Amino acid sequence: MLHSPRPGWIEVITGVMFSGKSEELIRRVRRAVIARKSVQVFKSHLDDRYSVFTVTTHDGLSVEAQPADSAAEIMRQVRPETEVVAIDEAQFLDPGVVDICTALAQRGVRVIVAGTDTDFRGEPFGPIPELLAVAEVVDKLHAICVRCGNPACRNQRLIDGKPARYDSPTIMVGGSEAYEARCRHCHELPTVDEDQTRLL
Q: Which residues are catalytic?
A: 89
Cβ-based neighbour number of residue 87 at 10 Å: 28
Separation of alpha carbons 109 and 187, rounded Å: 38
Determine how β-strand 9-15 pairs with β-strand 137-141.
Answer: parallel
Separation of alpha carbons 174 and 191, rounded Å: 22
How far apart are the two ends of the chain, measured CA to CA in Å? 62
Longest CA–CA span in the chain (Å) reads 67
H or E stretch at 103: helix 96-106
In three-state secondary structure terms, 26 is helix
Instruction: List beta partners, residue 152.
Output: 143
Burial (0-12, 13-18, 19+ Cβ within 10 Å), 67: middle
